[in-house]
Structure 1
C-alpha cells in the first residue's frame, strides 16, 4: 500500500476518534473566560478534525506526484471525505449545534454527486472536482470548525459567524450539486 492510500486510511481511522471526543463526556472541567466556555474534548476533536481535513488534498497530491494513483485510492479518498464530514455533521446535530436540515442537505448532496460520479465511472469517465465543489469543501470545513469551537473568536463580539457559515455552506452545497448535475447531464441515462 502506497503512502497516499495510507494517509487516506488514516483519515478514515481518525473519524471514530473525533466522534469519541465529541460525544463521550469525560467530565473534564471546561475552559471558561469572559463568558465563553469550551471543553477540552471539543478542542481535541477540532484539532484532530483539522489534521484529518488537511490530509484531503495531501493524499491526492502525493499520489499524483509519485505517479501512484490507484483504484483503491480513487475509491477510498472520496469515501474518507464523506465519512469525515458526515460523522461530524451528525455529531453536531446531536450536540444541538447544527440544524438537522443543514446536515441532511449537505449529506444528501454528497450521496447524489457520488452516485453521479459512479455512473460516470461505469462509462469510463471521471468527473473532476469543480471550483464550486472546492468552495463547498472550504466553507463546510470552516463551518464545522466554527461550530466545534463554539463560534470562537466571534463569540466575544456577539457575531453569529457559525450560523452564517452554516447557511452559506448549505447554499453553496446545493448550488455546487446542481452545477455538477447540469454540467454532466449527458451522463445521466434517460430511459
Structure 2
C-alpha cells in the first residue's frame, strides 16, 4: 500500500480580466466619440446624422446585454467587468443626455437629475471597493433599459416623425427618471449598510 498523501485539489483560478465580454464593454466606451460626432453633425439638425447617432447608440447599448450574457455563459464574470460595465453605461448615457439638452431637445433638469444620481452612485462604488464590488441590481438594469429606450427615441429626428413618437418618448423618459431616483436611493441605502457593517469593530470573544 502506498504511503503517498493525495494532493489537495487546487482552487479554481479566477477568470482572466482579458476576455471578450470586457472587450465589448471597452468597445462601448470607444464608440461614444463617434456617436457624439454624428449627433452634432450640422448642429444636430442633420437627419442622416441623427439616424447614424441613433444607430450607434442602439448598437452600443446592445453590447450591454451581450457582454453580460457572454460573461455569465463562459464563466468569465470578473470584478473588472462588474466595475467597468456600469461606468460604460454612464459614459454613453451621460454623453447622450448632455448633448440632447445642449441641442434643446431635452430639459436640462432631467439631465441634471439623472447625472447627479449616476455620478453619485459611481463615486459610492469606488468608495466601497475597499469592501466589495457592488454589481448592478435588477432595478439598476431596468433603469438602464428605460434610459436607453427613452434616449434612443429622443435621438430620432422627431420633428419629421408622427407626434405620437414624441409622446411615447416623453412617457418613457418620465418612467426612466422615476426608476433612476428610486434605484439611486436603494443603492445609497445598500452602500450605507455595507459601509457601517465593514467599519464596525468585530465582537471580542469571551
2:94 is the alignment partner of 1:86? yes
Higher Rg: 2
Task: Tell me which residue corresponds to 2:155.
Answer: 148
CA-CA distance at 1:79 after TM superposition: 1.9
Number of residue pairs matched by the alignment: 181
Stretch of structure 1 that moved more, 149-158 or 164-173: 149-158
Verify: 1:112 aligned to 2:124, yes or no.
no
Q: Indicate conservation of the 8 Å contact 2:44/2:103, yes or no.
A: no
The two structures have a TM-score, normalised by structure 1, of 0.82
User: Following the alignment from structure 1 to structure 2, what is the Cα–Cα distance between the partners of residues 158 and 65?
Assistant: 36
Q: Alpha carbon RMSD of aligned pairs, Å?
A: 2.7
Q: Which one of 5, 14, 17 corresponds to residue 34 of structure 2?
A: 17
Name the stretch that deviates more: 148-157 or 54-63: 148-157
- Gapped runs of 5+ residues in structure 2? 1-17, 200-206
Q: Which runs of 5+ in 1 are unaligned?
A: 31-38
Match of 1:132 in 2: 139
Write the distance in 2 (CA, Å) between the matches of 1:100 and 1:63: 36
In the superposition, the TM-score normalised over structure 2's length comes to: 0.77
Between 85-94 and 66-75, the greater mean CA deviation after superposition: 66-75
Match of 1:53 in 2: 61
Counterpart for residue 75 of structure 2: 67
Of 163-172 and 7-16, more deviation after overlay is shown by 163-172
Distance 1:135 1:179, change over 3 A: same
Once the two structures are TM-superposed, the CA of residue 133 in structure 1 deviates from its matched residue by: 1.1
SS at the partner of 2:119?
Answer: helix
TM-aligned CA deviation for residue 61 of structure 1: 2.1
Larger mean Cα displacement after TM superposition, 143-152 or 76-85: 143-152
Give the Cα–Cα distance (whole angstroms) in 1 for the partners of residues 126 and 164 of structure 2.
Answer: 45
